[in-house]
Amino acid sequence: MNDSLKTLLFALAALLMLGVAITVYYQSQPLPIDDFQLVGQPFYDQFNDAQEAQSLEVTAIDPQTATLQRFKVEQDDGLWTIPSHYDYPAEAADRLAATATSVMGLTRESLVGRVKGDHERLGVLDPLDEETLDPESAGQRISIKDSSGDVLVDLIVGKQAGERTPDPLGAFDDAPMGQDFYYVRRPDETQTYKVLLDIDLSTRFADWIRPDLLQIDPPEVRQISIDNYEMKEERSNPLAAPQLFKMQGEQLDLTRMGDVGPWNLVGFDEKTETLDSARVDELVAGLDELTIVGVRPKTLFDGLQVLTPNLKLNPQVVQRFKSNRPELQNLINQVQFELKEYGFNLAPGPQGADDLMLVSETGEMSLGTDKGVVYSVQFGKPIVGEETAIEIGVPLADGEPVRTDNPSGNAVATEVKGPDTPAGDPVDNRFLMIRVNFDESLLADKPVKPTPPVKPVPPDGYPGAVSDPNETDGTTTTDVESEKAKDNTDEDVDKTDPTFEKYKMQLTAYEEATAAYELSLTRFEDEQAEFEQRVMEGKKRVKALNERYGAWFYVIAGTNLEALQLDRQQLVQPITSEPASPLLPNNPLPQRPNINFLPETDRPQLDQPSAVPADGESSEKQDGTTAANSTSKIEPPPASLAV
């Protein structure tokens, strides 16, 4: 090796060592002040009023399917709705308020990452970035905008930054205990911060609505009616459309008086049958647990629901087709086609073609509560598929549902599994329609108006008694004259006249009854006012529920539907005679002999008690029997008691 090559190698080694030294030097230096200048500053200082929020969107990557999930809620005329789900109301107002408030005024706390290379480790990769594929590395992005579409908040929430522990510096000692540390960054910044945050983001439809469908309390249920009818089609003409008929089936009517009282079944014979009350309780619990997992809008015509909340043909729609019956029939056919795809149909009602009534393939049931609210529930066809297909029927396109005229293509025929569903066991979700009515008779303790007492009529000849042609209740004395007669009774009335004495007693009793009646009337008026208040509240609740149910077909979770499909054979069992005791198969207990009691007139007369014996005489023998020569002496009754 020549000297020139050695010199070159030494120079290269020196340069390499110099580079290492420079790298170590700069890496060991404190971070530049520019990286810390945002610590303690709010992420978005202009967002300080939750009322400014008009839309909220959550974006995340589903960890199970590794697909992008976007969920948005926005205000429409003061009502929060879900655009991707046919503008269904976002009923979880607490979640909306909590989510917006949790990020309002959120400040950058401690700096934990400065470069993009830290994003994957901290779980704050942007889910909207096409290169982000790993759900574990992607964060949840929350975007809040105002009415003009301007961004109020846009943050990526990453992994949880460990459990909350006491801060030695006391920086977070005053923070609410519900908060935890998370890694958070703005999409337009590379720095990531450790922040105390109380937030629960979700892209699931069920988390932004009120999934409890009926909203009942099982002890409130007072009656249940199950109508197991069937739908039949009949063709009078091979070329004509089939006519639908409702074939009446088994009807079960169950009632109970109180919260935990026994159930009674109409037509139930207690002597020969037993009622399985536990199955009835399971039925009530199953109805209480009905959960919404998807929705479909009902058909509209010029902004009007073709079917009213009570599932009848809307009279306003019928009126618009008054002079064009063929067009009305076309609309009815369209509604029937839609209904049939979900397992329902319209059948002629008692009043003809314009009185169509909704029927379902699997019958219907109703339940009434002590609030006077009666729920009528009708179950349609089952549906399985991916989560999006269950929720809205079709895949999303740019965050919005694809609307089609043919709902038959909505349900995807694939298996869907929930977290509690065994592998290979599909959930039998079903379509459901519901309507609500008010029944005042279900309200307990309806007050009864007391009956006023009848004023007694004075007898003829009683002082002050005159005929009054204005009296209509049979009374022959005016009030003034009655008072005069009462004041002069001691002077003018013959006290020995029993008719007058009886009238005076009746008059006193009437006055006492009148006082009691007035008290009862006051109590009745108070109870009646309270009852009317309960009626008003019940009707108000029915109206609110119909507004909620009237515009929608629902898809309900099918995990507990089996408990709802009951017939009489499942509820009632015959009483069987118990077999004889195995201990005494052929040795019954001896029966007591029959004792025939004679009538009292035919009984032998017993001896009357003897008179007191004279001195030295004995009325009994030594063996205790009555002496033969003793005589009975009975004293006659006093003359005043003799008949």
Buried b (16+ CB within 10 A) or exposed e, 79-99: ebbbbbbbebbbbbeebbeeb
d(CA 494, CA 463): 10
Q: Quick one: CA dihedral 305, 307, 308, 311, positive or negative?
A: negative
The whole-number pLDDT of residue 325 equals: 83
Residue 486 Cα to chain centre, angstroms = 63
Whose tokens are 């349900």? That residue is 411
For 156-210, how does the pLDDT look when each residue is reduced to its tens digit (9 = 90+)? 999 998 765 555 545 444 544 457 899 999 999 999 999 998 888 888 898 899 9
Is the pLDDT higher at 522 or at 63?
Answer: 522
The whole-number pLDDT of residue 424 equals: 43
Mean pLDDT of all residues belonging to the chain: 77
pLDDT band at 33 (very low <50, low <70, confident <90, very high): low
d(CA 125, CA 138): 4
pLDDT above 80 for 248? no
The whole-number pLDDT of residue 237 equals: 62
Question: Residue 87: how many CA atoms within 13 Å on its side-chain side?
Answer: 9
Across the range 488-513, mean pLDDT stands at 77
For 584-608, how does the pLDDT look when each residue is reduced to its tens digit (9 = 90+)? 555 444 554 444 444 445 444 444 4
Across the range 115-139, mean pLDDT stands at 90
pLDDT band at 619 (very low <50, low <70, confident <90, very high): very low
Across the range 19-27, mean pLDDT stands at 66
Pick from 260, 268, 261, 255: which is nearest to 226 by CA? Answer: 255
pLDDT above 50 for 408? no
Cross-strand pairs, 432: 379, 554
Across the range 568-575, mean pLDDT stands at 87
Please give the structure tokens belonging to residue 388: 């999006």
pLDDT above 80 for 234? no
For 423-443, how does the pLDDT look when each residue is reduced to its tens digit (9 = 90+)? 445 557 899 999 999 999 999
Q: Kindly report the backbone phi and psi dihedral angles of residue 628, in degrees, each rounded to the nearest multiple of 5, phi listed first.
A: -70, -30
The whole-number pLDDT of residue 625 equals: 43
pLDDT band at 582 (very low <50, low <70, confident <90, very high): low
Q: Give the DSSP per-residue string, 377-418.
A: EEEEEEE---HHHHHHSS-EETTEE---S-GGGTS--S----
d(CA 360, CA 498): 75
Predicted TM-score (pTM) of this structure: 0.69
Across the range 85-105, mean pLDDT stands at 86
